[in-house]
Amino acid sequence: MLRGGAHSRRNVFGGRGFLLAVAVLIRGETFSAAEDFCSAYVGLKRGILVGEPTGQPLAFSLPGGNMARECTKRAAYPDGTGWNGIGIGILPTLPVRPTVVALQAGRDPVLEAALRALNDSAKPAK
């Protein structure tokens, strides 16, 4: 950031931007700074999020079989809309839930779905 709040941009591609489609894989263990990244990524409309909603508020067990949740921040997309409603997180563009059977077979349904979506976006329009 420069004086007066102006942003500095440095093009690391020597004047060429990266123009290929991009997919980011997310799941419940995606939280904190990774959610901040996803928020900016969604705001930039740079690509798709594939997988499951990002991390939920911290949950922990209490005596007597009770449970408590703690949400410690309010977060928003660049346009100001909030995404951190209690228990929501950032929702994927392409929801995919891996199954135990697929994982046991050595498959990654989330990665497979992302690759399919990227390949489909690269095909010329008919």
Site of tokens 């010329």: 124
Among 101, 103, 83, 102, smallest CA distance to 91 is for 83
State residue 101's pLDDT score: 97
Site of tokens 């390949």: 119
Instruction: Compute the distance between CA of residue 59 and CA of residue 33 in angstroms, rounded to an integer.
Output: 18
Please report the domains of the chain, with CATH numbers, ordered by start residue. Answer: 21-122 (3.90.226.10)
Instruction: Compute the distance between CA of residue 90 and CA of residue 49 in angstroms, rounded to an integer.
Output: 9
Average pLDDT for runs of 10 along the chain of length 126: 53 66 92 84 90 78 80 66 65 95 97 96 71
Task: Write down the pTM of the prediction.
Answer: 0.70
